[in-house]
Each structure stands twice: as C-alpha cells, then as structure tokens.
Amino acid sequence: MKQPVGRRRSHGTPLFRFSSFYTRLRFILILLAFVALLPPLFFHFKLRRLHQTKLRKCGWLNNPPLVCAHGGDSTNAFPNTMSAYSIALHSQVDCIEIDVSRSSDGVLFALHDRDLQRISGNSTSKVGHFRSNELKELDVYHQSGNSKIPTIEDALKLISASVRQVILDAKVGPPSYEKGLANDILSTVEKMQCKNCLIWAKSDSLVRDIIKLSSDVAVRR
C-alpha cells in the first residue's frame, strides 16, 4: 500500500533565514559603526584645518619678527647717541641698527649725514667733511643724558652683548667713499668681537668688497 504523498519539509529554510538575518545585522552594525565614526572624523579634520590656518596666520607668534630699533630709541632721544641706545636696551629690543659713517681721517662714527645736518644747522654737512676730533666735540643740543656722538667701537661696546642682532648700516661718502671702507668696518667688527653684527650696505661695490674680505660676517644689500 502506497504512502500518501505529502509536502516534504525543507530542512534548509531556517538556516537560510538565519544567515539572511545575520547578514542584515552585520550590515546594520557596520553602518552604525560608520555613523558613530563620522562626528570624530569630522571634528578631527575640522580641528586640523583650524590648526593649519592658525599656523599660517599666527605662526609668527612662535617665531616673532626681529624688532629692530633704528638708531636706538630715536623717539625719546637723538638718533645714534648713547642715550638713544641705552633707552632702546632698557626697552629690551631684539636688535639695534647703527648708521656707520667715516670721518675725513678714517674713524668710524655712529652718525648719519642727515642727523649731522640737524646738529650743525648746515644742510650740506657730510660726516666725511669733519675730522674725528671735530665730531667728538659736537653735542646734541637740548638733549639730556649722554648726547655725544659715539664712535662705532663705543656703540658696539655698549650694545652688542645685549641684543640678538646689531645691524651696521654702512654709509658711503666723501672723501674716500668705498675705498678701504669694507676693511675699516670689518676690522672694527673683529676688534670688538661682534659675532652678532650684520653689515648692511646699498653700495654693490662695498658689498662685494666685504664678501671678498670676510666670509664670517653676514652682509645684506
């Protein structure tokens, strides 16, 4: 006698359903993990961008520019006098610029023709028209403190050990102009052992002479 034919029970269906459920669950978990990571990633790149912007705009705060007093504190004292240098040092400046001019007898003074003209009242005065003893006798009127015009040696003796940089702004003038000027300046720098001296000159020939005579001293044009 034949057994009645009926629908066979599939033993694979529950396993298939379980596998499908597990796949969906895994997908959901991965999706949730990805969504959970989005805020940290967003803020990470946001902060990174802000940091880069800060470095670009405010990086100078970590490496600030060199603050250089031109002729010392020329607001509260006459430029290139010992008083001007002393006031600038008291203000803790990083750098002091000194004008370098040569007298007719070859002595280097911290003086600019323009300032000499103010002192002498003569609009045509040049440092090179005066001998060193004449320049030393000049005094800045209505100026308290040490208002004498210093030599470069005197200025460096006061300044060089107290600032990061000393800029010697070499002025070319009569009677010798560039002739021997590079050697005179370098000799003074070496004598005063000014390791932080930088020589600045507008004259190309003077710059070439300085470079030719010394590779140890920085020079700029």
Residues 95-138: tens digit of each pLDDT: 999 999 999 999 999 999 999 999 888 999 999 999 999 999 88
**Shared domain check, 49 and 153:** no
Task: List the structure tokens of 194.
Answer: 């000014």
Same-domain status, 35 and 136: no
Over the stretch 156-183, which tens digit does the pLDDT of each residue have? 999 999 999 999 999 999 999 999 999 9
Cα(27)–Cα(33) distance, integer angstroms: 10
At residue 200, the 3 state secondary structure works out as strand
Q: Give the chain's domain count.
A: 2
**33/141 same-domain check:** no
Does a structural domain hold residue 83? Answer: yes
What the block records as the tokens of 151 is: 């030599």
Q: Is residue 177 part of a domain?
A: yes
In tens, the pLDDT along 60-100 reads 667 778 889 999 999 999 999 999 999 999 999 999 999 99
Query: What's the domain range around 47?
Result: 14-61
Residue 180 and residue 92 share a domain: yes
The three-class DSSP label of residue 218 is strand
The verdict on residue 3 lying in a domain is: no
pLDDT band of 37, cuts 50, 70, 90: confident
Does 29 have pLDDT greater than 80?
yes
If asked whether residues 154 and 123 sit together in one domain, one would say yes
In angstroms, rounded to a whole number, what is the distance separating the alpha carbons of residues 145 and 61?
Answer: 35
Which of the listed residues 27, 61, 95 is the one where a domain comes to its end?
61
The pTM score is 0.71
Phi-psi domain of 145 (left: phi exceeds 0; alpha: psi -120 through 50; beta: other): left
20 and 82 share a domain?
Answer: no
Q: For 25-48, what is the mean pLDDT?
A: 82
Question: How far, in Å, CA of 80 to CA of 100, rounded?
Answer: 10
Mean pLDDT, all residues of the chain: 86
Could you tell me which residues are beta bridge partners of residue 198?
Answer: 167, 218
CA atoms within 13 A on the CB side of 64: 8
For the chain, percent helix, then strand, then coil, each to nearest 5?
A: 50, 15, 40
Tell me, yes or no, whether 9 lies in a domain. no
Q: What are the Cα distances from residue 19, in Å, to 9, 11, 23, 31, 149?
A: 19, 14, 6, 18, 97
User: What was the pLDDT predicted at 216?
Assistant: 84
Percent of all residues in the chain with a pLDDT value above 90, rounded to a whole number: 58
Secondary structure E strands in the chain: 68-70, 95-102, 108-110, 165-170, 197-201, 218-220
Q: Are 163 and 96 in contact (CB under 8 A)?
A: yes
Answer for the pair 216, 188: CB distance below 8 angstroms, yes or no. Answer: no
45 and 114 fall within a common domain: no
